[in-house]
Amino acid sequence: MERSITRMLVSQFTQELVSRGDYVIRYGESGSDMYFVFTGVLSVLLPLRIANHNKTFKEAVKALAGKKNGDENGTSSRVGPRMDDIVSVVTSNSEKHSVQNQPKKVNELAAGSYFGENGLFTNAQRNAHIQAQTSCILYKLSRESLELVFDRYPNWKEKVLQLVSIHREQGRLQQVSREVQSRGMTISTGLVVSRSNIMNERAEGLKERRYHARSNSTHRSLICMSLVRLLDIFVLQPLFKLGNSLIHGTPVQSKFHLGWLRFMVACTVYVAIMIPYELAMDSMHRVTVVVTIIKMFELLCEITFVVDIWFSWHVQESPASMELYDQKLRSVYKKERMVWDILAAIPFYDLVSLFSYIKWLKLLRCIKILNILNYLDELNRRGVANDVKRFWHVWLLYLLMMYWTACAYLAVATMAGFGTQWDSWLPSEELNISDPQNPSATQLSRRFLRGLFFATTMFVKKGYNPDPDTASLYAFHIAISFTGLIVMSFVIGELASLFISFIGLEVGFRKNHIAVELYMARLRVSEHIRSRTYAFMTSLWSSHAGVNYEELLEEMPQHIRAACVLHVSKKPLEWFVMKVVTPVCWEGDESIDALTLSVTNCLQFETYPRDENVVTEGSIVRAMYFVIKGHLTMRSRSLMHRPLGLRDGSYFGERGLLGCTISAYTVRTARACDLLSLSSEAFAQVLQKHSFTRLALKLCERAYKHLKEQHITTCSKRDMEEHWGAALLLILQEIKSCHLSAEEAASATEKNGTGKPPIVGDLNATFTAVSSFLPVEPVADLKKEAPATETQILPEQESSEDIATAATEEIEETSNIIKELGGIPANMGEMFDALNTARTCFEAFAPLLHILLATDPLDWKASFWVCAPRGINHSEGQTASVSIESVPKSAHCNQSGPLPTKQAAPVEQ
């Protein structure tokens, strides 16, 4: 039965992939899921106030014993700790809210662990943070899935609930025990710190202060202290860190670990070159400067081989490398590298030389070359250019094998004797060094070139090589030929696989290119479209190697994608936010950063070849663009006499973005460009997501409606700036007055204790007649509702009752705006104080007005001169405006106001 229950439970699991640094659950949130850790490591975090509150009595006393006495005068004669000291240990940092909420790691969860089980049986909040320390695979069990199992097995349900109740009671008792211990800390007054310890601490403090006083007395003391400090920073501390890393071990994939691996690669290659050279070409049994330096480096490498065994054995695992290794580091080292390291480190030659001279034992030092691939793999474990590095590694080993073959040939020639003829298999007698203490450079270079020529013929199979004279030389020749063939085959295979892997992307792209060509041939498209398609395919390969960056970004986790997009679009996006958003945001930099991140999540990557139109004059504006790379030209037949150039860091297309306006420009690529596009729908959602942008949009909408109702006659752009500023200032003051009046009424109600909400009609005295703050309806809806015989009512014809009713409605609508926004955003007092003139109001909201309206807000003829069609009266014709509520959900509809025509005449006021 238990097996069937387990199978059913496992069938209800759902797999989740968690990236490193993500929170699975957070402290204080509600949840009903339980998680099982399949792979990875997670950290259990608690807020600092709770972690400190759970300290035991012994931990608090220990912390108190290590705390220095706060008495500066040293006159206190109290033996034990003060009550304030004990309380401060238990409730440290209680006065700083930000410090209290900082998470502190209290536990660690690895594969096979589980957490979140309380959420299956209770509705309590989570009591800890769970953060992924590495990339993890979790299996989730929900409460609904567990209920299905309970319904199937009721007896097992009773057992589980009994265990849960027992576990809950144990937790309650532990909590009570901790509370009793914490109360006992404030009562205990034992002699925690002895009098002698206190006196010693005071004496040390006095000694240190006197030393500083003497050192600061003279200029010489200052110089000495600075020199000592520099010596400590640049010499002593690095040496201390080096010794500490060698003795206690260093974390894997740390900077010191990678530096040590590079040093070991250099030592291994140096020994693999110098030992065969000494045995075959030049014994170097002489005392010169060059030979002494070579011998010193060789001795250093021998010592390093011994230290490397200790270092590799004590390499520590780190959280950053847990997702890079599947097995324990020490076990892997024992299986793969430890034997070769020991053989290379033992000084066999030095031990045997005490009894006999066998110089070939030096070759055991070269056996460490078998570990060089492990060193190189460790260095490139985090790399992404593995193919290129593998290429250079293969060439390194190939050249090293050729060098060893050359040395082996010269060693055999030295043992067998040099040849008497120049065309024999053995080298000529001229290459024999007669005086080893003083060999000539010509002989050494000729010996090396003769051995290298033999090795080249063995590996490449090209070049003349005479037949050997003896059977032993034949055997050596055959063995070297076979070895060269195998090595050359291996190198050719490795290089071929690397080349195929390197051109694999090009092959796939070429296949798609051929498929596109066949498709266009079937459709019989025009030559113009065909040339544009070829230009796009060519640009895609030359610029991005055929990689679709948008698909690559979609596969990334959301926070990684946002970081990448923010990095490449930092310059144009910051300029756009600074120009449009910053003037209307008074909540601080955090709100601006949050809006920038929201915009980043909505950006889409697009690429264009040269001579392509990104935006065409006369088309509907559906998105704005940020230029990442490339060069574009902007032209306009009606507004610009010369084209304008756009380069990296520029943006365009923001005018009328939320009004679906008709583009007045043509933007064409001068060369291949990479752009990030922001659609109008996505930008509208971002603006509605934040409170300060919602308020700014409401202000702009109501200001536009207010100006429409004022029936402004034709005026210049400078006058329109004054009208816009006055309208914005008026509405801003209305909202401020309504907010202040509502606060005064609420405070008065609380003081009286009546509990009756304030009456909106009582606030009439604080307002003047302003435009309605109701959302603007489309013209089509107004045409259906308005009767055909309705006539326009001028402001002069309104009665006093209508004015009072309108004022009451305006106050109610202003209150509704505040309610829709969820209250006035933070720091709005600063905004009310700063935007106190019409000019400042217009300068702050002008960039947003250009984005919101379908026409130029300063162009009276385009924005406020509307010709009423036949069958619609004048009041209906003036209701066409742009509202954020009317932003289209599809980019194919246009809700901008009717455009003026040549036959249109201004409406008489």
Instruction: Determine which of 256-265, 470-479, 497-506, 554-563 has the lowest per-residue pLDDT on average.
Output: 497-506
Of 61-65, 269-273, 690-694, 857-861, highest mean pLDDT = 269-273
Q: What is the pLDDT of residue 204?
A: 62
Would you say residue 705 has pLDDT above 60?
yes
**Residue 635 identity (one-letter amino acid):** R
Of the two residues 872 and 483, the one the predictor is more confident about is 483
- Measure the N-to-C terminal CA separation of the chain; round to a whole number of Å: 89
Q: What is the pLDDT of residue 885?
A: 38
CA–CA separation, 254 and 260 (whole Å): 10
- The dihedral through the CA atoms of 770, 773, 775, 781 has a sign that is negative
Instruction: Determine which of 562-571, 780-789, 845-854 has the lowest per-residue pLDDT on average.
Output: 780-789
Strand order through the sheet with 651-652: 604-608, 673-679, 623-629, 651-652
Tokens of 95: 């006065």
CA–CA separation, 367 and 177 (whole Å): 62
CATH number assigned to the domain with residue range 543-685, chosen from the 4 options 1.10.4160.10, 3.40.50.12780, 2.60.120.10, 3.40.50.720: 2.60.120.10
> What are the φ/ψ torsions at residue 448 (nearest 5 degrees)?
-65, -40
Extended strands (E) in 613-705: 613-615, 623-629, 632-635, 644-646, 651-652, 666-669, 673-679
- Tell me: the pLDDT tens digits for 423-457? 788 888 888 887 778 888 888 888 889 889 999 88
Q: How far is CA 19 from the centre of its chain?
A: 12
- What string of H, E and C letters represents the secondary structure of 92-136? CCCCCHHHHCCEEEEEEECCCCEECCHHHHCCCECCCEEEECCCE
Of the two residues 764 and 631, the one the predictor is more confident about is 631
Q: What is the pLDDT of residue 205?
A: 64
Cα–Cα distance list, 223 to 74, 207, 217, 229, 650 (Å): 32, 21, 12, 10, 53
Of the two residues 308 and 783, the one the predictor is more confident about is 308
Rounded to an integer, the average pLDDT of 338-347 is 90
Record the pTM: 0.58
CA–CA separation, 394 and 496 (whole Å): 12
Strand pairing class (632-635; 644-646): antiparallel
Q: What is the pLDDT of residue 753?
A: 54
CA–CA separation, 736 and 234 (whole Å): 61
Provide CB contacts within 8 A for 821, sequence distance 6+: 691, 694, 695, 698
CA–CA separation, 438 and 440 (whole Å): 7
Would you say residue 61 has pLDDT above 50?
no
195 sits in which H/E element: helix 195-215
Q: How far is CA 546 from the centre of its chain?
A: 25
> What are the φ/ψ torsions at residue 634 (nearest 5 degrees)?
-110, 125
133 contacts 40 by C-beta, under 8 angstroms: yes
Would you say residue 899 has pLDDT above 80?
no
Strand pairing class (14-18; 136-142): antiparallel
pLDDT band at 889 (very low <50, low <70, confident <90, very high): very low
Instruction: Determine which of 690-704, 718-732, 874-888 has the lowest per-residue pLDDT on average.
Output: 874-888
CA–CA separation, 636 and 616 (whole Å): 10
> What are the φ/ψ torsions at residue 831 (nearest 5 degrees)?
-65, -40
Q: Say how many C-beta atoms besides its own lie within 10 A of residue 739's C-beta.
A: 18
CA–CA separation, 266 and 366 (whole Å): 13
848 contacts 579 by C-beta, under 8 angstroms: no
749 contacts 755 by C-beta, under 8 angstroms: yes
Closest listed residue to residue 403, CA positions, set 350, 336, 459, 362: 459
12 contacts 115 by C-beta, under 8 angstroms: no
- Dmax of the chain from CA atoms? 132
CATH number assigned to the domain with residue range 2-69+79-198, chosen from the 4 options 1.10.150.120, 2.60.120.10, 1.10.1520.10, 3.40.50.1100: 2.60.120.10
CA–CA separation, 109 and 116 (whole Å): 12
Q: Look at the chain and count its residues.
A: 909
Of the two residues 779 and 454, the one the predictor is more confident about is 454
Would you say residue 92 has pLDDT above 70?
no
Closest listed residue to residue 501, CA positions, set 617, 394, 637: 394
Q: What is the pLDDT of residue 77?
A: 40
Helical H segments across 314-440, by residue range: 329-336, 338-345, 348-352, 372-379, 386-416
Would you say residue 51 has pLDDT above 70?
no
Q: What is the pLDDT of residue 676?
A: 94
Angle between helices 57-65 and 83-90 (to 10 degrees): 120
CA–CA separation, 458 and 451 (whole Å): 11
409 contacts 454 by C-beta, under 8 angstroms: yes
Q: What is the pLDDT of residue 789?
A: 35
- Tell me: the pLDDT tens digits for 302-335? 999 999 999 899 888 877 666 677 778 888 888 8
- Tell me: the pLDDT tens digits for 713-743? 778 888 888 889 888 888 888 877 776 776 6
Provide CB contacts within 8 A for 21, sequence distance 6+: 131, 132
Mean pLDDT over all residues of the chain?
76
Rounded to an integer, the average pLDDT of 336-348 is 89
Phi-psi region of 332 (alpha: psi -120 to 50; beta: other; left: phi over 0): alpha
**What percent of the chain stands above pLDDT 90?**
17
Residue 620 is classified by DSSP as B
On the question of a common fold for 2-69+79-198 and 543-685, the answer reads: yes
For the chain, how many helices (H) and strands (E)? 34, 16
For the chain, which residues make up each domain, given as ranges?
Answer: 2-69+79-198, 249-383, 385-524, 543-685, 690-787+798-886
DSSP helix/strand/coil, 316:
strand
Q: What is the pLDDT of residue 417?
A: 81
Would you say residue 785 has pLDDT above 50?
no
900 contacts 861 by C-beta, under 8 angstroms: yes
Long-range contacts of 304-311 (CB under 8 A, 24+ apart): 304/263, 304/264, 304/267, 305/267, 305/341, 305/344, 305/345, 305/365, 305/368, 306/345, 307/246, 308/260, 308/264, 308/341, 308/345, 309/338, 309/341, 309/342, 309/345, 310/246, 311/246, 311/249, 311/250, 311/260
CA–CA separation, 312 and 378 (whole Å): 12
CA–CA separation, 548 and 121 (whole Å): 47
DSSP helix/strand/coil, 534:
helix
Long-range contacts of 783-792 (CB under 8 A, 24+ apart): 783/872, 783/876, 786/873, 786/875, 786/876, 788/871, 790/873, 790/875, 791/873, 792/873, 792/874, 792/875
Instruction: Determine which of 448-457, 611-620, 659-668, 795-804 has the lowest per-residue pLDDT on average.
Output: 795-804
Q: Say how many C-beta atoms besides its own lie within 10 A of residue 689's C-beta.
A: 12
Would you say residue 818 has pLDDT above 70?
no
